[in-house]
Structures are given as structure tokens and as C-alpha cells.
Amino acid sequence: MPREIVTLQVGQCGNQVGSEFWQQLCAEHGIDPDGILRPPPPNQPPAEDRKDVFFYQADDEHYIPRALLIDLEPRVINQIQTSEFKNLYNPENIYMSKEGGGAGNNWAKGYSQAEAVQEEIWTGSGMGSYLLETLSDRYPKKLLQTYSVFPMLTETSDVVVQPYNSVLTLKRLALNADAVVVLDNTALNRIAADRLKLSNHMGTHFWGKHPEVPGSIPSGGISTLLVSPSVQYIVLYTPLTANTSIVHQAHSTVRKTTVMDVMRRLLQQKNLMVSASTRRGAYISVLNIIQGEVDPASVHKSLQRIRERRLARFIQ
């Protein structure tokens, strides 16, 4: 496969985010919930986009996601299989535990269950960790990138062992992933409350109403992130993410914007999806993924203005 990307959705959070991610990709590529390509509008040529990166065509020319849906607990996957997009996925690429009891938020239980069924299917955090280890060992030349949602920093979780699950997973992410795109619930909840005016903004409610969050991050291609100067050192592979397109639908307006405006807002603390301060540190490098038609000259001018205004401080 030259540039194809295979997506693995593991656990409750992974499948919730993944479901909205595929809905966003289908909307961008003009694919309906059954995988059928919508005809272009009259007097408009077909779009020349790379659908084959995330999708493949079946014998009947339906587009099917290159995705594996894995979970020990069937609730989220059952919701996907009864949703509008139930015919989009390949049923052979969906795995649920036969017992259906889940791992009970126990990292070790999920890890051991994955080890026990690795010949049937090499899945929360424990099974995801084992899966990451196995993929890294069996396919050492393949690039592995994760989108990892970290728990709340300030509020107490109803899952007592959540801190242990996070620490045990961090080791596997550090040793086996080529890049880890970090998102954390503290920052996402702040964005949901401040900018989206959502009072109940946890989990599916947030992702379901705003699929541009998981959908926009990989729009430039995973290989761009991994082979660019953004990942210069093996121990510094967790890029901070920011997004400027999250707005409340009732308050959304169409306005003229510039490359400079977008790049400036991406550097602002309020647009970060991670609860980390950029004021005390310095950037190694920055990768901006901007959708739409962009003039390269505008990008170079904007970069120069950012340096002149010292909006971003880079290491020397």
C-alpha cells in the first residue's frame, strides 16, 4: 500500500471519536452513509481527491473505510451498527468480545484479554496498549500514530483506577508509537463550555455535535506530520494540537479571513486542545494544516510577520 492509512478504533472513546471521524470524512469526500459516491453538481467536474487513502472500493464500487472497530464492551459498537452509517463498515472488520462484559476499567484485565485472543484479534487502555505493542513488534517499518484522549486533570473521576490506567498506557505510547497526538478532556471541556456554551459536554455529546475536532486533525495526511521537522527528536513526539474551527452553530458567521489570521489564532492558548502553557517554553517547530486554497506566498509572509512580532518563540 503506497500511502494508505489503516485506522484502528479501540475501546469506548476510540470508537466514539472514530465514528464521528468517518462521518466527517464521508461529508468531505461526498460519500453517503451507505458508501455510495454522490454525483457532482451539474456543470461541475468530479473532485480530484484521494479517497483511496482512507477508503477502498468494494467489488460493487462502494467505498469502505480502512478501519478496524475493536471493543471488549459492545455498547458503542452496537450504536454504530444501528446508526445511519451501519452499512458503511465491513462487518468482518468489527470485533467485540464474546463475553461482552468489557474490562471494567481495569488496565490489566484488558491487557490480558488481548493477549489471550491475539490469534483471533490482536482491545479501553489495557487492550489498546497490548495492540500497540504487537503492531510495533510485527510491523516495525510501519508508522504508528495515535490520537490519545487523556483524562481530566482537576476533577475526580468516577473510575478509581484511572490514574493507574493512564500511567501504564503512557509507557506503551512512549515506547511503541511514532507520534502521539495528545488531546485531553480538561481542555476539550473548557472549549465546550467557553466557546460552544455546552453544559453537558462530555464524551459523545461533544464529539457528536462537533466532528470537525477529530476530522480536521489528520486532513493533511499522517505522513506529513511524521516526516516533517515537527518530530525531530525521538523523545519529543507528542505534538500539541490546536483548532480554530470550533464555534457554536448559533453564533457562527461567514467572514473573510487570512492565512495570517488563522496562523495567529492557532498559536493562542484558548485554541489548544491540551492543558499546557506555551508561554514558558519554546517551540521546536510548528506544522499548520490549513484547509482550502492557500497561496504559498501568503504563508511565507505570515511566517515572517509571526517571527517579527515574536508571536511564537522557537528554540535557538
Low-confidence winner among 31-35, 63-67, 231-235 (lowest mean pLDDT): 231-235
Q: Which residues neighbour 315 within 8 Å (Cβ) at sequence distance 6 or greater?
A: 282, 283, 284
Do 24 and 18 contact (CB within 8 A), yes or no? no
Largest CA distance in the chain: 60
Residue 94 DSSP code: E
pTM score above 0.85: no
Do 70 and 9 contact (CB within 8 A), yes or no? yes
Low-confidence winner among 93-97, 103-107, 120-124, 167-171 (lowest mean pLDDT): 120-124
Is pLDDT above 50 for 121? no
Q: For residue range 197-253, what is the model confidence (pLDDT) as tens digits?
A: 666 555 444 555 445 555 555 544 555 555 555 545 555 577 888 888 776 666 556
What's the CA dihedral at 160, 13, 16, 196 to 10 degrees?
80
Q: Which residues neighbour 32 within 8 Å (Cβ) at sequence distance 6 or greater?
A: 26, 38
Is pLDDT above 60 for 264? yes
In one-letter notation, the amino acid at residue 55 is F
Q: Is the dihedral of CA 269, 275, 278, 282 positive or negative?
A: negative
CA–chain centroid gap for 165, Å, is 20
pLDDT at 105: 54
pLDDT at 66: 93
Do 34 and 54 contact (CB within 8 A), yes or no? no
Count of C-beta atoms within a 10 Å radius of residue 9: 29
What's the rounded Cα separation, in Å, for the pair 34 and 84? 8
Report residue 88's pLDDT band, with 50, 70 and 90 as the boundaries. very high
What's the rounded Cα separation, in Å, for the pair 246 and 195? 8
The three three-digit cell numbers of residue 64, written as one number:
469502505
What's the rounded Cα separation, in Å, for the pair 274 and 23? 24
Residue 121 DSSP code: -
Is pLDDT above 80 for 43? no
Quick one: angle between helices 125-138 and 162-176, nearest 10?
10
Secondary-structure breakdown of the chain: helix, strand, coil percentages, each rounded to the nearest 5: 40, 10, 45
What's the rounded Cα separation, in Å, for the pair 155 and 1? 44
pLDDT at 63: 94
pLDDT at 56: 92
Architecture of domain 184-316: 2-Layer Sandwich (3.30)
Q: For residue range 133-184, what is the model confidence (pLDDT) as tens digits?
A: 888 888 888 888 888 888 776 666 666 677 777 888 888 888 888 888 888 8
Q: Where are the alpha helices (DSSP H) in the chain?
A: 11-29, 75-81, 107-116, 125-138, 162-176, 185-194, 204-209, 212-216, 222-227, 259-266, 296-309
